[in-house]
Every structure is written in C-alpha cells, then in structure tokens.
Structure 1
Amino acid sequence: MPGRIHPDDIAEVRARARIDDIVGSYVTLRKAGSGSQKGLCPFHDEKTPSFQVTPARGFFYCFGCGEGGDVITFLQKIDNLSFAEAVERLAGRTGIQLRYTDDDPGARFERGQRMRILEANAAAAEWYAAQLAKPEALTARQFLDSRGFDRAAAEQFGVGYAPRGGRELGNHLRGKGFADADLVAAALIRPQGWDFFSGRLLWPIRDSGSAVLGFGGRRLYDDDRLPAKYLNTSETAVYKKSHVLYGLDLSRTAIGKQSRAVVVEGYTDVMAAHLSGVDTAVASCGTAFGDDHARMLQRLMGNHDAFHGEVIFTFDGDAAGQKAALKVFDGDKNFIGQTYVAIEPTGLDPCDLRLQHGDAAVRELVARRVPLYRFVMSNVIAGFDLDRAEGRTAAMRAAAPLVSSIRDASLVNGYARELAGMIGLDVEEVRREVTRAAGRGPERAPRARDAEPDEAPVVPAAQLPDPADRTLAVERGTCQLMIQQPALFSPTWEDIEAADFTHPAYAAVYAAVLAARDGSNDGSAESSAGGSGWVQAVRASTPHGSGEALDHLIASLAVEPLLVRADERYVQEYAAKLRLLTTMRRIADLKSKLQRTNPVEQQTAYNQMFADLLVLENRRKSLQAASIGVD
C-alpha cells in the first residue's frame, strides 16, 4: 500500500495550482472587484452567480449553497475524488513530483483507481494516435480523407486507430506497467483479455481539463463482429456518458468568451465545425443530449439572465431530427441562454455540408439559426391545413400549450404574436387560447379534408347538422328554398357552387338537387314546382350510403316553414348571402396566406395573392349589395 503524500509536496501543490485556472476549467468566471471572480455555482442550480473565487487567498465559496474550500477541495467535490487523487491530479498539471512516505516502486499503480484509469486512458490515446500512421490503418485514413480531414486535422483532434489483432493495446499497456484489473476498470480491455476496441477509428473523449475519459470508435470493416456503427467506452469510474461532451476540451474557452455553444450530433460534425471556424461545437457521446449536459454548458457559459448567451442545436431535417428537437424542447428549462435550432434545408449534417460546400457553409448554417420554440411550433402546425378556417383553429389549439410552457413569462406575449402570424389568426384570439392552454398539454385535431367539387359527400346520421346552428342558417335556408321553391331559381341556380356549402350534409342535398334537375324530362325544376314529385326526385338522387339520415334531412327541409313568402327577388338575395359568406371565407384564407408569406423572399407569389385579394374584395362589395337588394 502506498504511504501518505509528503506534507511539503501538498503545500507546494496548493501554492502552484492557481485556483482560478482550475475552477475556470469548469466554470466561466468574471471579475467581481476587490481581486475576486464570480460565476454560477457548479454544485447547485442557480441563475444569479453567487459562487466566488479569490485567487490571492486560494479559496472559493458559494454564498448560495455554502460550499467552499481550497483548490484541492474544489477538485475533490467537482470530480468526486479522494484527497490523494485530487492532489495527484493537480501535481500532474503543475509538474510536481510527489513523494510518499514508505513509498515503493509499485506504489504508483496502487494509488486511487480513478488516477490509474486516467493514466491508462492517456497512454492508450497516445498509442492509438500512433497506430493511425501504420500501414494497417489505411482504411481508417481513407475514411478520414473521404470526410475531408487531413493528417493535421487528425492530429489536432487526437484521432487514432485500434488494430484488428485484438490484443495489441493490452500488451502495450501491460508493458508500461498497467495491471489487467485497471485496464478492465478503464474499459480498455475486456475481462477475457481482448482489447475493447478492434479495427475501429477512434476519437478520445476528454473533459474540460483535457484528461482522457474514454473513447468513441467507428466501424470500418464489414466483417466487424460488432454491428454497431459507433461504439463508445462502457461506463467507468471516470466516464459517464450523460456527463461528457466530445470537443469540450477544445471549445471550453470559446464557449465562455462567446457565451455560445453549438451542439452537433457526431464526432466528425465536431471536427468539421471547429475546422470551419465554429469553435464552440460539442457533441454528446452515445446518448441523447440531456439535463446534465445542459447544466454543464450553462456553467461554462456563465449566463446571468434569459437574454444572454445562446445554445444552438443542429439537427437533421427528417423525422428523427424533429423528435430530437422536441426532446430538447422538453428540457429547455435547463438553459438560461436562448435556445436555437440550425437545420440545413438539404438535410446535410455539418460534416457533409463542409465537404460539399466548404467552411463558409457551416458558419452560415449556424448563423441562420432560428429559435427552438419557433421550430417546434412550425413542426406542430405543419400537420394542419392552414388554408381552412377549421385547420387554423386546430393548429392554434395544438400549439398554444407550447407557448404557454415557455419558462420566461416575458416572452410569452411575443411568441403568441409570432404564432398568430405563422397561422394567420388574430393575435388576441391566440393570446386567449394560450391563456386557456396553461397547464394543458398539446392537442392534435384531425385535418379537415375537402370533398371533390363534383363528388357528393356521404353523410352518416351522426353528422347531420343542428337545425339551430346560426352559423349554418344561410346554408339551411338555401336548401329549403331549393326543395320547396325550385321554380324561383334561374337555370344556373343563381350561380351557387358546391363550395358554398361548408357542412357535408347541406353539400349532399345540393348535389342531390342538381342530380334531380338533370334527371327531369325538360331539364328544369319548374315542371315539379316543388311538389311531392320533386321532393321524391331529390331523395332518390342522394348518394349511395347516406341511407335514412339524408332522407330525414330532406324531409325536414321540405316541411319546415320559410321565414317569408318567397319570390324570385328573395331567392336572388338569399343566394347572394350564401355566395357572400363563401367570398368572405376566401378573403380570410387569402389574408392568412399573405400573413404567412414573406413579401421579399416570395415577391411574385405575394403580389399575385394581393391582386387576387383585390378581386375578392370587389366581389364581396358586389355580393353584399345584392344580398340586401341594392342594385
């Protein structure tokens, strides 16, 4: 067993390991006056920095949770180390050779297991990197070249290669004095003695202080016995996949300075982003981005309010990418900075984008970011037909809970206004729905489907209209007139169309009326003059499958008393009312489209819709006058 670390060496470690440098590897610190620095406490969640470091005294203290101590204490707490392990790590960083009481040649390998794992990982990373230059690694080098990475890039990121033999790494590390028990604990070899990685391209995964925690390996050969394309180190005392981010060692300083982090999906994406100038890129390793990752970035960004700092996610534009975005949305409460999404319209990831379009395209991808809430809302409302009033209402009801869940109440009104613009509804209507949606989950209403203009809809009994529904009063009244007074209509039925009827039952009645007219002897409705023969002809013309439901509706329309004694002028005015309602719906739909159309990017379409709107407005005025009998 090793002895105690010599007290003089412990004192030397405390003197030479600057606490602001060590703490700064985990937390972004800013000057706070009187020679002190402040940041967000890494030991509890907070939005206002109460964690203070005083370099002159070599101490830290959090006024929020009460944690405090010197540089050794900090490292013990932040990385769950023993006292000796923390001193040994600091000694390694500061170049101090530690002395032990009653030390012996084997004591180095009997110290804390965490330190032995880190030492083994560092040795493995160095050896893997050297193997990449060997003849056997030709396939690995060709893969890197196909992804746009040269030798300098491989060296910058420490990329390595695991030979196919299966025992080379273990033999090499045993020759360096590492015991099998430590190599198994580090997940560098398997209990049977085989290397954990074989025939794979490897990326070392480091913490913010550049210590190697584990590796990620990509499959290169078709005969690889492990089918997974990517294989990561199993969880060890130092490697917890929910606590590590690939690229953090390279991006830590830039994230703190820029208060920005770009989260990509893979190792090659991190490489492509950094080589393109996006030096804040990181990626999760073998697991989805989670709450612990979010808290890690939050500490590094050092954000103090909801309007400072950005976390930008790049996702594929497919269904899997949308699902990942929704997962991030669920955990968005963990971020203090604003959360964004950057998606390449062509579906290319950052690596492919750089390969096909160059470094500038990757930088532009990040620059084109959109707020996460807007992206999620867009995906939710994409499932609804926004060209129909009922589709817009359903979309509003589905998206309103998303807006109501925004953690910063000051942003809710702004996002409600944005949602109103995306859907094409009045902002006050959307705000009322957002208020009602507070505490309620997203809803999804079925999309409305248009019937074919020449196809009479089949109407089950459950879909018969309510006779008292005032919104359908004009449609019902028109059908009454058609059945009771068909002779008062012109041969063109006052230019009424199937689209003028919004309820499928009334549309079915209108289709039956047209079919009955076309089936009469002289081609007109006057021969029946609304008598029983005409009613029977309409009933006989209903579409197959409607059964008694539509028969009952036609019968009720035939016997319900008209509001006034009808004449030709009255029929003309009533038909104008029906067509006026259709025109007003089309105006509302067109205005919604205009509201959702960018007049700069889609100038031609916008101008055409505006011209169509003017035509519809003129038609509305004409029909409004006709509906009240004004010539």
Structure 2
Amino acid sequence: MAGRIRDEDIALVRERSPIADVVGEHIQLRNAGGGNLKGLCPFHDEKSPSFNVTPARGYYYCFGCAEGGDVITFVRKIESLTFTEAVERLAQRAGIQLRYEQGGYVPGREQGERLRLIEAHRAAAEFYAARLAAPDAAPGRRFLSERGFERVDAEHFGVGYAPAEWEALTRHLVARGFTPQELIKGGLAREGRRGPVDRFRGRLVWPIRDITGDVIGFGARKLLDSDDGPKYLNTPESPIYHKSSVLYGVDLAKREIARRSQAVIVEGYTDVMACHLAGVPTAVATCGTSFGEEHIKVLRRLLLDQAEFRGEVIFTFDGDSAGQKAALRAFQDEQKFVTQTFVAVQPDGLDPCDLRVEQGDAAVRDLIARREPLFAFAIRSVLAQYDLNTNEGRLGALDAAAPIVASIKDPGLRKTYVVDLDRWLGFMDERFVIQRIQQVAGRTAERTAGRYAGRSSGGTAGQTAAQARGGPEAGMREPDVRLEVEALKLAVQRPALLGPEFDALGPDTFTLPEHVALHGLIIAAGGTVAGGPGGREWVDHLLAHAASGSGAEADLAALVTRFAVEALRADVSVEERYGAAVLAKLQEIAVGRAVTQVKSRLQRLNPVEEQQEYNRLFGELVALEQQRRVLRDRAAGA
C-alpha cells in the first residue's frame, strides 16, 4: 500500500485550495457581508440560501442542515470520497505531488478509485480527439461539417472519433497502465468473448464532463450503416457517472448561467454546441435520460434560485406532438424551481442545431428570445385540443385547463392566468371562470382525499376532502401537525400511556391554536395523571370542563369528541411503545424549533465583535442538539 499522506502535504493542499474557489465550482456564491459568502446548500433542498462560506478561516457551514467543515470535508461529501481520495483530488487540482509515509510517491494503481477512473476518461478523451483527424474518421468529420461545425469547434467541445475496431481504446489505455477491470468499471470497455472490448466503435463521441470539468463519460453517435446499435449510445452508470444528475455542457455554461441567471435546456449534444456558438452560452442538455429532479438541483444551485424570481429556466422542444408532450412533462417539475420557467418552441420543428444551419446564429438567439412562460404554454396546449367555436368545446377546455391554473402556487400569478384563460376562451366572465376552476379543483381534491381516507385510520373522506380544499383543518396534512394529533388522541383515549411528560409540555410544543387550547384543557382537567387508563369517564370529564368554559374552550368539545372516536394509528399490542415514540418525537420537533431559532440568532451575530453572546448561543446550540439526539434515539427505540 502507498501509506499515509504526509501531514505537511495535507496542510499544503488546504493552503492551495481556496475554499471559495472549490465550493464555487459547484454552487453560485454571493457576498453575504462580514467576509462571508452564501449560496444554496448542495447537501439538502432549500428555497433560500443558508450555506455559508468563510474564506478567511477556510470553513463552510449550513444553517439549514448543519453540514460543515473545511475544503477537504466539502470535497469528500460532494463527491462521495474517502479522506485520502479527497486530498488526492485537491492535490491534482492544485498541481501538488503528494508524498506518502511509506513507499515515497504513490504508484498510479494505488490511487483512489475515482481518481483512476477520471484519469482513464481523460486519457480516453485525448485518444478519441486525436483520432478525429485520422482517415477512417471521415464520416465523423462529414457529420460535423454538415451541421455547421468546424474543426476548431470540435476541438473546443472535445469531440472525437472512436475507431471501428474491437480493442483500439482498450489497448491504448492498458498500455498507459490502466487495468481491464478499471476500463470495464468505468464503462469505457465491456466484457467480450475473449476479454474486454471497446464500448464505442465507429462512432462520433462527445466527452461528458462534470461541473468541475473532469471527463466522467461519453455520448456516442452512430455513423455507419453497419452499426446495428442505437442512434446514440451513452456511458452506463458507473462510480463516477450518474446520468440522472449529469448535464452535458454544464462545465462550459456554469459561469454564464450564474452571471445571466439563465439556463437553457436543449435535447442533444449538437444543440448545446449550436447554442453556444450562436451566442447562447447558457445551454445544457441531459444525457440519455429525461430532465428530472436531480438536474433541477444542479441548476438551482448555479442560478442561486430563490424567492426573488430573478432567474430563467428555458426549455427548448420541437414543435411536433412529441415536443409538446416533453414540454408538458417539464411542467410537472416547474414549481420545483423558484425562478421563472419558459418554453421556446420552433414552429417548423427545427432543433437549435438545424435552425442554425438553415437560418444562422441570429435565428437561434431569436428562438430563445421568443420564449413563452411554461404555464401559458401548458394551458394553450390543452386549449388546442378543443373546438373553441362551440360552447361545449369552450367549457371542456376550461375544465381541462382548470387543474393547471389551480396548481399555480403563487396567488398573484394564479389570478393573472385566470384572467388570461377567460380572455383566451372568450367567456368574458372572470367570476364564472374562477368558480369553475374551484369546482374542478375541489373534485380533484375529493378524489385524492378519498384515496387517502381509504389508506388512513380514522376520519371520513368528507373530513379529509375539507382539509384538501384548504378548510379549517388543512394543516392536518402536515407531518408535524399529524404527530400533534396522535399525541392529543392518546391523551384523550389512553392518557396513562403518556403520563406526566405530556403534562409538562410547553404550549410552544403545538403549532395549531386549537391544539394548544386542547393541551391546556387537559391540564386544567387534572392532566393525564387524572385520566388514568382513560375511557368514557375521562372523556366525559374533559367534555364537562370544555362545556364549563367560554369562547374558545367551549368550542373544544367537538375536538375532544372527535379525538375520542378517531382510531389511533397503532395496534393495541404496540400502543405502549407507540405512546413513548410519539411523545419523544413531539419533544424532538419542539427542540428542533428551538435549534432553528438559535441558529438564526447565531447567523445574525458577528463572532468577532459579539464573541461573548456568540459563544453563549453556541453552547446553547450544542446542548439542544444533544437533547435532540437523545430524543431521536428514544423515539427510534420505543
């Protein structure tokens, strides 16, 4: 084995790896004042940035998920590496030759697996790029030329050619010191009858790079009629290539995406090339898979996507029915972005690459400039399926478009599209359109609620439908509130399972006013200790206290009755453990709120100028986190 990396080399790696630069390769950072930088956390989903970087001290910390550490920790977590692999990755980036305690310089085959696969892909990319100039690569050069790309363009994007031979790349990389097992594991080769053979043969290849610029895979386009494989063949899943989170061109586009607050999603490698060369350098594409949630996370971090609605995500699709279906699928993910989302559709069906060939660079820029809001496109696509010259057609179109409009979360934007929908349909009666949308949305909610009620214990479909429509008990759908309901149901039905700990809970444990009031009523009635095993006498006692009160307390009688009837979520055989778990989880959530408050206060303090208060709050935070861990363990073990 290579042995342990020398401490002085590790220190040198930290010194020459500015944390703001390393983190900035993955997320957009902005000045947060006081020498700090801030961005959207890459380790959890969030709508507003809570990920802080302090370049002067070389540390990061997320006030949202409590992840923190130095530059080596960041690389370890973001790329799923061991400590040694992370140091080697940063050393490679900084041009540092590491020394090891045993055996001097590390032999290549003893380096981390990820580094070895990255090096193999880099060597493969160089091999393919060099072979593009060979005589047998003429079909590849012709393919590029017909699509308006010159040699310098191919070099810029690293386009290459995979020879139509069984082992050309494999022989080359094995001669460079890579093992057949490494080539197979990385997807560069596959197992043949007599050993490993090249995965890509007789194809034009595009290197696919991660956000830092490392080659992690390839996309290969069929050129020869004798090739019976698919039109495009991509690298399979590997330790370094995960297609669900890879965007082709993101390494070239990331800085412009951050600078312009714009990302353009196209469908292919040549479309990315065409857009960049035409003056749309924010274009990226998925690699052999549809645009999904992991891609959204990557773009949100680059856009610093948050509530100000500054940014734009623009999807480009063909104007045919398949392209429209793709756009409507994108609509399903629209509200996972906070930025404004658009669609750019070319009516004649030309993709950006063909559009550039036929009409020039300006036509590609105009396509993006003519973008249409995704909501408008989705609604118009639905309306196009109906005959709007008849009353029946207009009413059917309204009912079909209603769920789309009702799903818009922003009230102001929803109102605007109600007005637009009324105008597009020609009713000229906004009140009627609003009522119809509410009716359709209500029926959808009731169907959803009915399915939910069939799965849950207690409650009626009508009650749950009222919640889904946003009635007084809409909050019951939230996990924390459901937990409060379970605790209160236990206090009403089986108080002995909770005991004095329930009585000692503070009012801030509960989030809904009626829950706070019911907890107070139970205490006023003598607490769970007075309730004993529960039963009718205890419920009657609670109802009598509720009836003797006035105002809000009198209104609690209905809630007591409901909680006395509604079934618990646990079987009788496990009620005792269930009660302990619910109580511990409820306390854990309450402590979690306190943790959030302390973190918020800490974030507003200057640790240098307000050191005493900062240290006091930090100590309080540590104690709360310890308490939360204890409660979490208790809940898990109950």
Q: CA deviation at 1:416?
A: 1.0
Q: CA deviation at 1:438?
A: 2.9
1:230 is aligned to 232
1:31 is aligned to 31
CA RMSD of aligned residues (A): 1.5
Higher helix content, 1 or 2: 2
User: What pairs up with 1:513-592 in 2 under 5 angstroms?
Assistant: none
Give the aligned residue type for 1:84: T
Q: Which runs of 5+ in 1 are unaligned?
A: 443-631
1:203 is aligned to 206
Q: CA deviation at 1:285?
A: 0.2
2:102 is aligned to 102
Deviation digits for residues 90-130 of structure 1 (CA, Å, limit 9, x no counterpart): 11111101111223677321222111111100110111100
2:289 is aligned to 287
Q: Is the 8 A contact 2:123 2:173 kept in 1?
A: yes
Q: CA deviation at 1:345?
A: 1.1
Q: Is the 8 A contact 2:100 2:106 kept in 1?
A: no
1:147 is aligned to 147
1:54 is aligned to 54
Aligned residues: 442
Deviation digits for residues 580-625 of structure 1 (CA, Å, limit 9, x no counterpart): xxxxxxxxxxxxxxxxxxxxxxxxxxxxxxxxxxxxxxxxxxxxxx
Aligned to 1:52, what secondary structure does the other structure show?
strand
In the aligned structure 2, how far is the partner of 1:441 from the partner of 1:92? Answer: 55
Q: Is the 8 A contact 2:257 2:263 kept in 1?
A: yes
Q: Which moved more, 1:134-143 or 1:1-10?
A: 1-10
**Taking every aligned residue pair, what percent have the same amino acid on both sides?**
55
Q: Is the 8 A contact 1:261 1:297 kept in 2?
A: yes
Q: CA deviation at 1:439?
A: 5.6
In the aligned structure 1, how far is the partner of 2:246 from the partner of 2:90? Answer: 21
Q: CA deviation at 1:330?
A: 1.0
Q: CA deviation at 1:59?
A: 0.6
Aligned to 1:314, what secondary structure does the other structure show?
strand
Q: Is the 8 A contact 1:40 1:299 kept in 2?
A: yes
Q: CA deviation at 1:326?
A: 1.4
1:361 is aligned to 363
Structure 1 residue corresponding to 2:441, chosen from 438, 441, 445: 438
User: What pairs up with 1:471-510 in 2 under 5 angstroms?
Assistant: none
Q: Is the 8 A contact 1:401 1:440 kept in 2?
A: no
Q: Is the 8 A contact 1:295 1:334 kept in 2?
A: no
Structure 1 residue corresponding to 2:216, chosen from 209, 213, 217: 213
Q: Is the 8 A contact 2:205 2:219 kept in 1?
A: yes
Q: Cα–Cα, structure 1 residues 441 and 212, in superposed 2: closer, same or farther, change >3 Å?
A: farther
Alignment of 1:2 onto 2:5 = no
In the aligned structure 2, how far is the partner of 1:7 from the partner of 1:90? Answer: 15
Alignment of 1:258 onto 2:260 = yes
In the aligned structure 2, how far is the partner of 1:208 from the partner of 1:407? Answer: 31
Aligned to 2:387, what secondary structure does the other structure show?
coil
1:477 is aligned to none
In the aligned structure 1, how far is the partner of 2:444 from the partner of 2:156? Answer: 47
In the aligned structure 1, how far is the partner of 2:322 from the partner of 2:266? Answer: 14
Structure 1 residue corresponding to 2:396, chosen from 394, 397, 408: 394
Q: Cα–Cα, structure 1 residues 439 and 158, in superposed 2: closer, same or farther, change >3 Å?
A: farther
1:608 is aligned to none
Deviation digits for residues 297-331 of structure 1 (CA, Å, limit 9, x no counterpart): 01110022152201000001111111111111111
Q: Is the 8 A contact 2:147 2:353 kept in 1?
A: yes
1:275 is aligned to 277
Q: Is the 8 A contact 1:306 1:338 kept in 2?
A: no
Give the aligned residue type for 1:15: E
2:76 is aligned to 76
Structure 1 residue corresponding to 2:247, chosen from 245, 248, 258: 245
Give the aligned residue type for 1:86: A
Aligned to 1:191, what secondary structure does the other structure show?
strand
Q: Is the 8 A contact 2:205 2:218 kept in 1?
A: yes
1:45 is aligned to 45
In the aligned structure 1, how far is the partner of 2:385 from the partner of 2:272? Answer: 33
2:512 is aligned to none
Deviation digits for residues 160-191 of structure 1 (CA, Å, limit 9, x no counterpart): 00000121101111111111111111111112
Instruction: Kindly name which structure, 1 or 2, has the bigger radius of gyration based on alpha carbons.
Output: 1
In the aligned structure 2, how far is the partner of 1:429 from the partner of 1:158? Answer: 58
In the aligned structure 2, how far is the partner of 1:11 from the partner of 1:183? Answer: 33
In the aligned structure 2, how far is the partner of 1:310 from the partner of 1:292? Answer: 18
User: What pairs up with 1:451-466 in 2 under 5 angstroms?
Assistant: none
Structure 2 residue corresponding to 1:412, chosen from 407, 411, 414: 414
Q: Is the 8 A contact 2:117 2:186 kept in 1?
A: yes
Q: Is the 8 A contact 2:317 2:324 kept in 1?
A: yes
In the aligned structure 2, how far is the partner of 1:440 from the partner of 1:380? Answer: 19
Aligned to 1:136, what secondary structure does the other structure show?
helix
Q: Cα–Cα, structure 1 residues 83 and 440, in superposed 2: closer, same or farther, change >3 Å?
A: farther
1:179 is aligned to 179
Aligned to 1:315, what secondary structure does the other structure show?
strand
2:470 is aligned to none
Q: Cα–Cα, structure 1 residues 119 and 112, in superposed 2: closer, same or farther, change >3 Å?
A: same
Aligned to 1:190, what secondary structure does the other structure show?
strand
Aligned to 1:283, what secondary structure does the other structure show?
strand
Deviation digits for residues 115-147 of structure 1 (CA, Å, limit 9, x no counterpart): 111110011011110000111101100000000
Alignment of 1:13 onto 2:16 = no
In the aligned structure 1, how far is the partner of 2:360 from the partner of 2:20? Answer: 38
1:346 is aligned to 348
Aligned to 2:298, what secondary structure does the other structure show?
helix
Q: Is the 8 A contact 1:28 1:39 kept in 2?
A: yes
Q: Is the 8 A contact 2:243 2:287 kept in 1?
A: yes
2:636 is aligned to none
Normalised by the size of structure 2, how large is the TM-score? 0.68
Q: Which runs of 5+ in 2 are unaligned?
A: 446-638
In the aligned structure 2, how far is the partner of 1:339 from the partner of 1:45? Answer: 19
Deviation digits for residues 230-255 of structure 1 (CA, Å, limit 9, x no counterpart): 00001100100001000000000001
1:518 is aligned to none
Q: Cα–Cα, structure 1 residues 230 and 86, in superposed 2: closer, same or farther, change >3 Å?
A: same
Q: Cα–Cα, structure 1 residues 124 and 440, in superposed 2: closer, same or farther, change >3 Å?
A: farther
In the aligned structure 1, how far is the partner of 2:444 from the partner of 2:332? Answer: 12
Q: Is the 8 A contact 2:257 2:302 kept in 1?
A: yes
Alignment of 1:374 onto 2:376 = yes
Q: CA deviation at 1:436?
A: 2.4
